[in-house]
Chains A and B, each alone.
Chain A
């Protein structure tokens, strides 16, 4: 069995088939990219995997279990974390606390033990310190020390994207969904992001499913690519093959008018 597999996934909004029979498999440890023009259904696919949308048909198998139709928090528990295209951070918390939320599933402090946080040696106190150490490692990994105690709402866009990545990493996922991690970043920030994605793959051994418009990045880091258009798969394969595929070129660049006339 594959590590992660999507089989014949379809979802419809009214009369619009946003996804129509999508199938692909992920090997453990690879970086798999999904590309396609705007409105191709890439983010919809992520939302289906996450459980934010409920697909009409198909299967999503993660480690031999069907996770289709599960609620987002159960999907997170299964070991899938994600980042968002439009940043979805908790604006009134600082960086540390935002990433701490990624540790939510690993913390056992409930209402009562939390309420009786009297001192360093209380259960909640010990747990807070232990997990903050863990978060500090992520902050070090992503070079976020400068933003550590700042409210994230006022931080630069690129930093916010990094914090989102950090929050997803704090979940210690086995599969990480990255929705346009480089969107709106400058060249330097993009380079950093590429390094981190590679590091996450190599050092942490996390499988990555990636949506990205920046073709340089996609060609650079992905092992395999799936191209979508209008909710249907066009082609799948190695970066260099997908790049040359005529259907992909057509979807991105449009058809040559002259050729049509002729």
Chain B
């Protein structure tokens, strides 16, 4: 080991060559993936990437600043509708419309952050929950947003590149996702991130050290909403069609579940949580296609729960996972990762 140390090591993005190597492998794998996988799985990967963006942003708010939000579907919807409307009505190019819609979501995040200054814990949860529901209700009443009928995403071109398939969009989405995760990681490592964490851990002490609580709490809401907005804008082009009912309360809770399962207050945890639960979410919708087990589940559900079968089985499973994680591994996937790492470091002792 090099004995000469540098203060920059503390904040470096890549702390060792091993990490750089594995990141290179990951990027290579991500680049090859759409050429070897079936088209459906490229769609699944896109869906997971969207979740990663939103959950990393949500984690900045919930995990690092310690402010809960159960209304992120609202910001997500603002981003999705904002991007499409800016492109169809104002004829913005996609790469401009997306950050603009993100900024609109951030503005709403800032506005929601203001009352949140006086609220804590369950009260804040209810207030943000109300925001999420209200937003989609209002969007569903506005003509320019297609009311209840929803909106179709316009054709997508970036420069000369015409994006048509999931595979094409994958190459737009993945770089944006990686960029946003890296930016979030840098924010956490510098002054703003330390201010966020200090508010979570001891807000009075943070204030007496010169951290302006009003500013940083609303900033956390705004940044988090920006991530959700950008995620929403991209989601509109994954689905190609959006309607208000899509952005319901369960979506907000799902984002929160992903962050908690991944591990609040860590960077890679929520990425893992978002990927895992995003995959699970889509796979569970196909549960009835599994031979024998699918029929058994269907019969069980019809005789005990509902006439319509198991349309919402993913919600049941998510609830179960959340309970189990809270009981046995409060640090989530990140906690399991840390323990595994420790175990192998000490092995065979």
Q: Which residues of A contact B (CB under 8 A)?
A: 50, 52, 71-73, 75-77, 81-82, 84, 88-93, 96-97, 100-102, 104-105, 107, 109-111, 113-118, 120, 124-125, 128-129, 132-133, 136, 167-168, 171
Interface status of B206 (Cβ within 8 A of chain A):
yes
Whether A92 pairs with B201 at a CB distance below 8 angstroms is yes
| CA distance in complex: A114, B184 (Å) | 9
Whether B209 pairs with A102 at a CB distance below 8 angstroms is yes
Indicate which residue in A107, A115, A124, A132 contacts B7 across the interface (CB closer than 8 Å): A132
Q: What's the least CB distance linking A155 to chain B, in Å?
A: 14
Q: Which residues of B contact A (CB under 8 A)?
A: 6-8, 10-11, 13, 183-184, 186-187, 189-195, 197-198, 200-202, 204-213, 219, 223, 265
| CA distance in complex: A71, B202 (Å) | 16
Whether B7 pairs with A128 at a CB distance below 8 angstroms is yes
Whether A115 pairs with B186 at a CB distance below 8 angstroms is yes
Whether B211 pairs with A73 at a CB distance below 8 angstroms is yes
Q: Given A81-B209, A104-B210, A109-B192, do A88 and B204 touch, yes or no (CB 8 Å)?
A: yes
Whether B10 pairs with A110 at a CB distance below 8 angstroms is no
Whether B7 pairs with A117 at a CB distance below 8 angstroms is no
In the complex, what residues of B have CB within 8 A of residue A128's CB?
7-8, 10-11, 190
Q: What's the least CB distance linking A43 to chain B, in Å?
A: 12
In the complex, what residues of B have CB within 8 A of residue A116's CB?
183, 186
Q: What would 12 more interface pairs be, CB under 8 Å, given A104-B191, A104-B210, A114-B190?
A: A52-B208, A76-B207, A76-B208, A84-B205, A89-B202, A96-B10, A101-B195, A101-B198, A101-B206, A110-B191, A114-B189, A128-B7
| CA distance in complex: A50, B208 (Å) | 7
| CA distance in complex: A104, B205 (Å) | 12
Q: What's the least CB distance linking B98 to chain A, in Å?
A: 17
| CA distance in complex: A50, B204 (Å) | 10
Whether B265 pairs with A92 at a CB distance below 8 angstroms is yes
Whether B194 pairs with A117 at a CB distance below 8 angstroms is no
| CA distance in complex: A161, B208 (Å) | 16
| CA distance in complex: A86, B190 (Å) | 27
Indicate which residue in A88, A105, A171 contacts B202 across the interface (CB closer than 8 Å): A88
Indicate which residue in A82, A111, A125 contacts B208 across the interface (CB closer than 8 Å): A82
Indicate which residue in B8, B187, B194 contacts A101 across the interface (CB closer than 8 Å): B194
Q: Given A73-B212, A76-B209, do A125 and B11 touch, yes or no (CB 8 Å)?
A: yes
Indicate which residue in B11, B183, B197, B207 contacts A93 across the interface (CB closer than 8 Å): B197
| CA distance in complex: A44, B39 (Å) | 66
Q: What's the least CB distance linking B213 to chain A, in Å?
A: 7
Q: What's the least CB distance linking B80 to chain A, in Å?
A: 23
| CA distance in complex: A110, B191 (Å) | 7
| CA distance in complex: A211, B281 (Å) | 57
Whether B209 pairs with A167 at a CB distance below 8 angstroms is yes
In the complex, what residues of A have CB within 8 A of residue B186's CB?
114-117, 124
| CA distance in complex: A96, B5 (Å) | 15
Q: What's the least CB distance linking B3 to chain A, in Å?
A: 15
Q: What's the least CB distance linking A72 to chain B, in Å?
A: 4
Q: Given A102-B209, A104-B210, do A90 and B190 touch, yes or no (CB 8 Å)?
A: no
What are 8 A-B contacts defined by CB distance under 8 Å?
Answer: A84-B205, A89-B202, A93-B197, A109-B190, A110-B192, A114-B193, A124-B191, A125-B11
For residue A168, which residue of chain B has the nearest CB?
A: B209
For residue A100, which residue of chain B has the nearest CB?
A: B194
Whether B201 pairs with A114 at a CB distance below 8 angstroms is no
Whether B8 pairs with A129 at a CB distance below 8 angstroms is yes
Q: What's the least CB distance linking A126 to chain B, in Å?
A: 9
In the complex, what residues of B have CB within 8 A of residue A111's CB?
187, 192, 219, 223
Indicate which residue in A75, A88, A118, A129 contacts B205 across the interface (CB closer than 8 Å): A88
Q: What's the least CB distance linking B199 to chain A, in Å?
A: 9
In the complex, what residues of B have CB within 8 A of residue A97's CB?
194, 197
Whether B190 pairs with A104 at a CB distance below 8 angstroms is no
| CA distance in complex: A75, B8 (Å) | 31
Whether A76 pairs with B210 at a CB distance below 8 angstroms is yes
For residue A82, which residue of chain B has the nearest CB?
A: B208
In the complex, what residues of B have CB within 8 A of residue A50's CB?
208
In the complex, what residues of B have CB within 8 A of residue A101's CB?
194-195, 198, 206, 209, 211
Q: Given A89-B205, A114-B193, do A105 and B210 touch, yes or no (CB 8 Å)?
A: yes
In the complex, what residues of A have CB within 8 A of residue B184's CB?
115
| CA distance in complex: A104, B191 (Å) | 7
Whether B7 pairs with A171 at a CB distance below 8 angstroms is no
Whether A115 pairs with B204 at a CB distance below 8 angstroms is no
> Of residues A71, A110, A114, which shows the largest number of chain B Cβ atoms within 10 Å of its Cβ?
A114
For residue B213, which residue of chain A has the nearest CB?
A: A73
In the complex, what residues of B have CB within 8 A of residue A132's CB?
7, 10
For residue B203, which residue of chain A has the nearest CB?
A: A88
In the complex, what residues of A have CB within 8 A of residue B198's CB?
90, 93, 101
Q: What's the least CB distance linking B191 to chain A, in Å?
A: 5
> Of residues B184, B198, B210, which shows the largest number of chain A Cβ atoms within 10 Å of its Cβ?
B210
| CA distance in complex: A136, B6 (Å) | 12
Q: What's the least CB distance linking A173 to chain B, in Å?
A: 10
Q: What's the least CB distance linking B219 to chain A, in Å?
A: 7
For residue B64, which residue of chain A has the nearest CB?
A: A92
Whether A124 pairs with B190 at a CB distance below 8 angstroms is yes
Q: Which 6 A-B pairs rank lowest in CB-CB distance, beginning with the nearest? A: A114-B190, A88-B205, A76-B210, A90-B201, A132-B7, A72-B207
